[in-house]
């Protein structure tokens, strides 16, 4: 079947293939994506840097990035055998929103669901339009794919010094997704330029000093990792620097000149910020039991931290706020919470009042 597809593409001629790529990207823009480009699958350009990053222990507890997961990420043809090309897309989620205790990406609907539905719709269109019943597979953040690598290869931006992909027209407040296909599509030109110049605002602004060098992030010091991916206790030395952040962190993006100038409101209705997620009350989060947490966060991006993680983060935020009004809630959590992790962080928070 793969050979038949290549023969079909060859007979159709380059003009027809280019027409298909143009129409494919038009489908993406028609569904609301802000960026779209095509990349050929193969060995990742950043595979060596990725391996070095893992070897230094910068992934922390994110064990899924190692072992077999790392092997698959080194070559984008491996996660879905037979696939040859990818439509890579970007969807803005609203960098113009005010900063707050929850990172902007998690304030609306679950982006995995939203983007996957759009990519699968494009896949159905491509299967019909290609006249060879193209096979496709959508990846949205959860697969063993180095999305930034593919996005740069598809012309969607460069790696900023804060490790985020930056596009010169919309900044970095956007999600990435990819639709793999077994068709041989003509790729777009990769983004070769580095437009960060001498700027180091993102590096200088990080309160936990998570950047060991430009474009090298020690995730174990990153507030996003500490509040989301880390499942155990937050290191004592980093708690005060977290301030009142509850879930994720946008600081290194907030100060980026490309975001200051080019961020835009989110056009996707599903990403409209919801008040109970944009600025949740830390004391209320600390008091939530498992049932209440599930009712409020189970179907959102914030579910990744689980109840114990959010309550842990809330205790740290209250300790850093040092508002005496929170002492009763912290005292109750330190004494009665079912999770030892939460009890320990609530006790730490109480110590900050002394």
pLDDT of residue 354: 87
Q: What CA–CA distance (Å, rounded) separates 29 from 166? A: 19
Do 176 and 141 form a contact (C-beta atoms < 8 A)? yes
- 11 band by pLDDT with thresholds 50, 70 and 90: very low
With H, G, I as helix, E, B as strand and everything else as coil, classify residue 279. Answer: coil
Mean pLDDT value of segment 49-54: 98
With H, G, I as helix, E, B as strand and everything else as coil, classify residue 164. Answer: coil
Q: Which residue has the higher pLDDT, 323 or 12?
A: 323
Q: What CA–CA distance (Å, rounded) separates 87 from 181? A: 8
pLDDT of residue 18: 54
Do 70 and 48 form a contact (C-beta atoms < 8 A)? no
Q: Is the pLDDT of residue 16 over 90?
A: no
Range 192-222 burial, b when 16+ CB lie within 10 A, else e: eeeebeebeebbeebbbebbeebbebbbbbb
Mean pLDDT value of segment 213-224: 98
pLDDT, tens digit, 9 for 90 and up, residues 139-158: 999 999 999 999 999 999 99
With H, G, I as helix, E, B as strand and everything else as coil, classify residue 252. Answer: helix
- 3 band by pLDDT with thresholds 50, 70 and 90: very low
Mean pLDDT value of segment 85-112: 97
What's the pTM?
0.92
Residue 275, beta-bridge partner list: none
Catalytic residues: 141
Q: Is the pLDDT of residue 248 over 50?
A: yes
Mean pLDDT, all residues of the chain:
94
- The proportion of the chain whose per-residue pLDDT surpasses 70, expressed as a percent, equals 95
pLDDT of residue 12: 41
pLDDT of residue 37: 98
pLDDT, tens digit, 9 for 90 and up, residues 64-94: 999 999 999 999 999 999 999 999 999 999 9
SS3 per residue for 95-135: CCCCCCCECHHHCCCCHHHHHHHHHHHHHHHHHHHCCCCCC
Beta strand segments in 199-256, E: 211-213, 216-217
> What's the maximum distance between 2 C-alpha atoms anywhere in the chain?
78
- For residue 349, the surrounding DSSP H or E stretch is helix 340-351
pLDDT of residue 137: 98
- 10 band by pLDDT with thresholds 50, 70 and 90: very low
Task: Of 145, 296, 163, give the one whose Cα is nearest residue 225.
Answer: 163
Mean pLDDT value of segment 174-195: 97
Give the CA distances from residue 125 to residues 89, 120, 155, in Å, rounded to whole numbers and listed in that order. 16, 9, 23
Residue 54 token pair: 């893992």
Mean pLDDT value of segment 312-318: 98
Q: Is the pLDDT of residue 184 over 60?
A: yes
Q: What CA–CA distance (Å, rounded) separates 155 from 189? A: 6
Residue 48 token pair: 């060596």
Q: Is the pLDDT of residue 1 over 90?
A: no
- 59 band by pLDDT with thresholds 50, 70 and 90: very high
pLDDT of residue 7: 30
Q: What CA–CA distance (Å, rounded) separates 246 from 54? A: 26
Q: Is the pLDDT of residue 211 over 50?
A: yes
pLDDT of residue 131: 76
Q: Is the pLDDT of residue 313 over 80?
A: yes
Residue 338 token pair: 């079912």
Q: Which residue has the higher pLDDT, 278 or 179?
A: 179
Q: Which residues contact 204 (CB under 8 A, 6 or more apart)?
A: none
Task: Of 147, 27, 95, give the one whose Cα is nearest residue 254.
Answer: 95
Q: Is the pLDDT of residue 238 over 60?
A: yes
């Amino acid at each position: 079947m793969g050979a038949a597809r290549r023969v079909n593409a060859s007979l159709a001629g380059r003009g027809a293939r280019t027409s298909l790529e143009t129409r494919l990207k038009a489908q993406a823009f028609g569904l609301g994506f802000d960026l779209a480009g095509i990349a050929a699958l193969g060995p990742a350009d950043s595979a060596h840097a990725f391996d070095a990053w893992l070897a230094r222990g910068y992934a922390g507890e994110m064990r899924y990035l190692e072992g077999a997961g790392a092997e698959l990420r080194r070559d984008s043809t491996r996660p879905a055998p037979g696939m040859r090309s990818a439509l890579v897309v970007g969807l803005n989620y609203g960098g113009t929103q005010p900063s707050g205790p929850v990172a902007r990406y998690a304030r609306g609907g679950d982006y995995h669901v939203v983007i996957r539905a759009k990519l699968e719709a494009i896949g159905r269109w491509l299967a019909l339009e290609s006249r060879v019943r193209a096979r496709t597979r959508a990846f949205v953040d959860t697969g063993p794919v180095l999305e930034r690598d593919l996005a740069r290869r598809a012309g969607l931006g460069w790696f900023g010094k804060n490790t985020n992909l930056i596009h010169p027209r919309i900044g970095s407040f956007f999600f990435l997704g990819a639709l793999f296909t077994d068709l041989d599509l003509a790729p777009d030109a990769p983004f070769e330029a580095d437009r960060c110049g001498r700027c180091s605002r993102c590096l200088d602004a990080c309160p936990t000093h998570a950047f060991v060098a430009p474009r090298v992030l020690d995730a174990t010091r990153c507030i996003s990792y500490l509040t989301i991916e880390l499942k155990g206790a937050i290191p004592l030395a980093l708690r005060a620097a977290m301030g009142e952040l509850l879930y994720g962190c946008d600081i290194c993006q907030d100060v980026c000149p490309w975001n200051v100038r080019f961020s835009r409101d989110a056009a996707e209705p599903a990403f409209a910020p919801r008040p109970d997620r944009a600025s949740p009350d830390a004391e209320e989060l600390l008091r939530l039991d498992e049932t209440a947490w599930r009712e409020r966060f189970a179907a959102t991006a914030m579910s990744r931290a689980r109840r114990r993680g959010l309550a842990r983060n809330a205790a740290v935020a209250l300790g850093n706020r040092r508002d005496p009004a929170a002492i009763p809630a912290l005292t109750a959590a330190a004494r009665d919470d079912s999770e030892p992790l939460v009890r320990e962080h609530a006790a730490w928070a109480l110590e900050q009042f002394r």
